Amino acid sequence: MQWRQQVLPARAVTLAARRLPMASIAAELGYASASAFSAMVRRSVGAPPSRFLAS
């Protein structure tokens, strides 16, 4: 499961660059909700998606 937590944030950045909404990014990556996706990003990178995806 750890490999997934490393790959998904990288994929999320790619999707964010296309200016997709957070809910669409979460769905594309297989999360049931934007909040579940947000929790994964916080655990993985230590920052909320808004900050992480903006970088």
Q: Is the pTM value of this prediction over 0.85?
A: no
Counted domains in the chain: 1
pLDDT of residue 5: 67
Please state, in angstroms and rounded to a whole number, the distance separating the CA atoms of residues 6 and 21.
21
CB–CB of 8/40 below 8 Å? yes
CATH classification of the domain holding 42: 1.10.10
Residue 54 near residue 45, CB atoms below 8 Å: no
pLDDT digits (tens, 9 = 90+) for 19-51: 899 899 999 999 999 999 889 888 888 888 888
What's the pLDDT at 51?
Answer: 83
DSSP annotation of 48 reads -
> Any residues with CB less than 8 A from the CB of 26 and at least 6 apart, and which?
32, 33, 34, 36, 37, 38
What residue numbers bound the domain in which 21 lies?
A: 2-54
Which pLDDT belongs to residue 1?
A: 54
Q: What DSSP designation does 30 have?
A: T
How high is the pLDDT of residue 44?
80
pLDDT score of 23:
93
